[in-house]
Structure 1
Amino acid sequence: MELKASPAALDPARLPGPVWVVAPHPDDEALGCGALLAALSNLGTEVWALLLTDGGFSHPDSREYPRERLAATRLDEWRTGLATLGVPPERTRALGFPDGALAGVPAPAVTQAVQRAFTASPPALVLLPWRRDPHPDHRAAWAPVCAATDAAVLGYSVWLTERGAEPDWPAAAEATALTFATGPYAACKAAAIAAHATQLGAITDDPGGFTLAPEMVARAVAGPELYFRPADPRPA
């Protein structure tokens, strides 16, 4: 599906900080809003990152990368990619909920953990995958994260343009669509995505494991990035 109207351009200079980007999995932030994060960092805006799950379920049949090793590797990849975008390791937090099973974690537990993370620097803006971005963990993140803060929220797209059905997209009254051209930040975004080697074919002993398609990566780098400003972020 394509947007029926041309979205307005998002101006990073007008976004309040501190900004927290919430990623259900390592690499979501690089794919969905890597260029915007680089632009915010370039402007001197304080940017933090919060990882919800351990990322350890992408290659369940790998013997070389059992879950504990994969989760630790993906955490390192996440921080390396964020550093490329100007977010240093000391401004990252990881909660370690189970990858692929966030919906099974009681929402109050997620909300409380997010609230504790946010105390490091209370957000003025939260970037979060759109409430119906087509991945169960992305959808499960919206309500408990929004419940953790009164800050403004912008939903970003990771899989919406790749896999989204028409009901997944926001209705006109539900949210305002915005875009951000990757432009001068495309190389930075590409480098941040490239940091996630485990998701780009480096794990070879699990043929059924997840691998980002080169075409999807190319589209993510070329942009534009897509965001939604919800009319009311609080309802699930």
Structure 2
Amino acid sequence: MESVALNPATLSGPVWVVAPHPDDEALGCGALLAALVAQGTEVWALLLTDGGFSHPGSRTYPRVRLAALRLEEWRRGLQVLGISPERSAALGLPDGALAAVPPEQVTAAVRRAFQLAPPALVLLPWQRDPHPDHRAAWEPVRAAWNTPVLGYSVWLTGRGAAADWPVAAEAQVLTFDVTPHRRTKAAAIAAHRSQLGLIQDDPSGFTLSAEMVDRALTGPELYFRPYGQSVD
């Protein structure tokens, strides 16, 4: 599928980046966020889940402690990207079970957050990004505010099947070169130490692979603009 380069200068703020989990925004669109902040665009961040399900077998980091750590890591990573804690909101919905939350409840919570700074654009994981929480977020978040959305990729490049990608008539593919902001994006990812090997007492727990981190830092970042809307 053909793609075009995404020019951040064409994106108006406030821009809200929605992350189902802490680290999704750093992995999926950290370079674009850094570029938007650098050009003076107002950027806000919304975290949907508590992130507490990544290491369910850890005694050192039971869910409550892990959720608190991941929230701290999320805010630290945002600050690396230039997004202050005052421009963030966290809903604390259940990690790994977002689909079990009534969609109207998610929509209402997202709408309340967006009222802090009504968005001109929302960045949200692509509707078929291959993680159940990412897929469960698409429709409820889009229903929260009548504004353009760009879908971003977290898992699509590494794990996506052919059917997960947008078809030609569904969305335009946009790419963003990470090179000018690679160091900043790398530092934002590194803030998520709980996902990078910090927790040693749960061998079955989640760890970001070196391949995934390398792919995120090599880029380009991928965005999908559904047809029928404009982002400029």
TM-score bucket (shorter structure): over 0.9
Structure 2 counterpart of 1:147 = 143
1:215 and 2:215 are equivalent in the alignment: no
- Determine which of 88, 101, 105 is the counterpart of 1:105: 101
- What is the CA–CA distance in structure 2 between the aligned matches of 1:220 and 1:136, rounded to whole Å? 20
1:56-93 CA-to-partner distances (Å, cap 9, x unmatched) read 00000000000000000000000000100010011010
- Determine which of 66, 74, 77 is the counterpart of 1:78: 74
- Determine which of 123, 126, 129 is the counterpart of 2:122: 126
Q: Is the 8 A contact 1:178 1:229 kept in 2?
A: yes
Deviation at 1:175, TM superposition (A): 0.2
1:28-63 CA-to-partner distances (Å, cap 9, x unmatched) read 000000000000000000000000000000000000
- What is the CA–CA distance in structure 1 between the aligned matches of 2:165 and 2:117, rounded to whole Å? 31
1:198 and 2:175 are equivalent in the alignment: no
Q: Is the 8 A contact 1:128 1:153 kept in 2?
A: yes
- Determine which of 21, 27, 33 is the counterpart of 1:31: 27
What amino acid is aligned across from residue 168 of structure 1 in structure 2? Answer: D
Structure 2 counterpart of 1:138 = 134
Taking structure 1 as the reference length, the TM-score comes to: 0.96
- What is the CA–CA distance in structure 2 between the aligned matches of 1:81 and 1:214, rounded to whole Å? 18
Deviation at 1:183, TM superposition (A): 1.3
Q: Is the 8 A contact 1:176 1:228 kept in 2?
A: yes
Structure 1 counterpart of 2:52 = 56
What is the aligned residue count? 229
Structure 2 counterpart of 1:69 = 65
- What is the CA–CA distance in structure 1 between the aligned matches of 2:48 and 2:223, rounded to whole Å? 20
Q: Is the 8 A contact 1:111 1:147 kept in 2?
A: yes
- What is the CA–CA distance in structure 2 between the aligned matches of 1:39 and 1:138, rounded to whole Å? 24
Deviation at 1:184, TM superposition (A): 1.2
SS in 1 for 2:45: strand
- Root-mean-square deviation over aligned CA pairs: 0.8
Deviation at 1:171, TM superposition (A): 0.5
Matches within 5 A, 1:12-27: 12-27=8-23
Deviation at 1:17, TM superposition (A): 0.4
- What is the CA–CA distance in structure 1 between the aligned matches of 2:215 and 2:194, rounded to whole Å? 19
SS in 2 for 1:147: helix
Q: Is the 8 A contact 1:99 1:137 kept in 2?
A: yes
Deviation at 1:232, TM superposition (A): 4.9
Structure 2 counterpart of 1:94 = 90
Deviation at 1:124, TM superposition (A): 0.1
Sequence identity percentage: 72
Taking structure 2 as the reference length, the TM-score comes to: 0.98
Q: Is the 8 A contact 1:22 1:126 kept in 2?
A: yes
